[in-house]
Amino acid sequence: MNMKIAFVGKGGSGKTTLSSLFIRHLAATGAPVVAVDADINQHLGVALGLDEDEAAALPAMGARLTMIKDYLRGSNPRIFSAATMIKTTPPGDGSRLLRIRENNPVYDACARGVELDGGTARLMVTGPFTDSDLGVSCYHSKTGAVELFLNHLVDGRGEYAVVDMTAGSDSFASGMFTRFDMTFLVAEPTRKGVAVYRQYKEYARDFGITLRVVGNKVRGQDDLDFLRAEVGDDLLVTAGYSEWVCAMEKGRPPRFSLLEDVNKQALAALQAAADETYEARDWARYTQQMVHFHLRNAQSWANDRTGTDLTAQVDPDFVLGEQQAVVQPG
Ligand SMILES: Nc1ncnc2c1ncn2[C@@H]1O[C@H](COP(=O)(O)OP(=O)(O)OP(=O)(O)O)[C@@H](O)[C@H]1O
Ligand SMILES: [Mg+2]
């Protein structure tokens, strides 16, 4: 079933740190994991133990967008070319879908296996963001690859896609923020951390997003009280200051099993909360939302940009789900 999980939050709140710990935790249980770095600051590879050179050498999804689009559109007759396939173009009859465990040309081109303590994960990165990416729509061309990946991904129970993301308004424009079964908003006990939560919650409400807050760098009762008062029941769990993380930051990660017990428990709580969303999965709604954002993008800029009526790319009979994945062409 769908286990698409995002870590969002204010810059510096600990998204990458908590994503990487969660990925290590999942991998240690033997679960198949695809880890995706979709943040403006690309640090997930290093947080997973790669050195700077290895991280810099990771293949960027953003640089392989045409290849990704050509693979995904397959023989879909409604999508004429990679150039007319935008980040929100939904799959339809003839599209190729992706699975967490399989080998496919997208993973061959964009994913690298990362050895973790007690397991492995596939890692994909959008690629470093440059100044020109930080404008309006160009920014999306990098995260657009991730949105396409998620919209074509049929993941089974106990399989995880974990995305390290920003909480910026860019992800709201694209629909990317609706692509997850569980969104963990990482918040430090500060007014700014909580303000980002409120903004996210407001966008999330209209789309039935499951949003839970993970308090980070919580140092005592006062911090905890502050988060409880500001966030209420959305507060799932908190992580404290971690010596294990500090050692990792120095390039000397201890064995993962030596992570503090309290932080291990926090990671188990994240997994339990994510797994709970299993029952709530609704492939039809998931497909409808991608269509919603696609129509919105088509009408607001993409029809003009491509000179094509992209609303015609929607296959009205298509619902993303397990059945299609079974019959996908090899
Ligand atoms: N629980 C923790 N204990 C100790 N240090 C932490 C903890 N969480 C985060 N840090 C440290 O805080 C800094 C910021 O964390 P991190 O890079 O994970 O944040 P981020 O939200 O991904 O930031 P950015 O927005 O820059 O991507 C890092 O130096 C990290 O090691
Ligand atoms: Mg980060």
CATH, residue 64:
3.40.50.300
Residues at Cβ < 5 Å from ligand 2 ion: 15-16, 39, 41, 43
How many angstroms separate the alpha carbon of residue 118 from the centre of ligand 1?
23
What is d(CA 81, CA 78) in angstroms, rounded to the nearest whole number? 9
Which long-range contacts does 291-300 make (Cβ < 8 Å, 24+ apart)?
A: 291/90, 292/175, 293/88, 293/174, 293/175, 293/178, 294/86, 294/88, 294/89, 294/90, 294/175, 296/88, 296/175, 297/86, 297/87, 297/88, 297/174, 297/175, 298/86, 298/88
- Indicate if the pLDDT at residue 9 is higher than 90: yes
Residue 137: the pLDDT is 52
Residue 281: the pLDDT is 82
Three-state SS for 60-103 is EHHHHHHHHHHHHHCCCCCCCCCCCCCCCCCCCCCCCCECCCCC
3-state secondary structure of 186: strand
Atom of ligand 1 nearest to the CA of 217: 1
Q: Residues 127-138: what's their mean pLDDT?
A: 59
Mutate to test the pocket of ligand 1, among 7, 8, 16 (most ligand atoms within 8 A of CB): 16
> Which range (108-112, 193-197, 270-274, 324-328) has the least confidence?
324-328
Atom of ligand 1 nearest to the CA of 18: 18
pLDDT digit string, tens, across residues 267-283:
999 999 999 987 778 89
Atom of ligand 1 nearest to the CA of 164: 22
% pLDDT > 90, the chain = 75
- Indicate if the pLDDT at residue 50 is higher than 60: yes
Mutate to test the pocket of ligand 1, among 17, 44, 265 (most ligand atoms within 8 A of CB): 17
How many angstroms separate the alpha carbon of residue 36 from the centre of ligand 2?
12
Band of the pLDDT at 134, cuts 50, 70, 90?
low
How many angstroms separate the alpha carbon of residue 135 from the centre of ligand 2?
19
The mean pLDDT of the chain is: 90
Q: How many domains does the chain have?
A: 1
- Indicate if the pLDDT at residue 92 is higher than 60: yes
- Indicate if the pLDDT at residue 6 is higher than 80: yes
What is d(CA 143, CA 129) in angstroms, rounded to the nearest whole number? 10
Residue 140: the pLDDT is 53
Residue 277: the pLDDT is 86
Residue 289: the pLDDT is 94
Domain that holds residue 138: 4-326
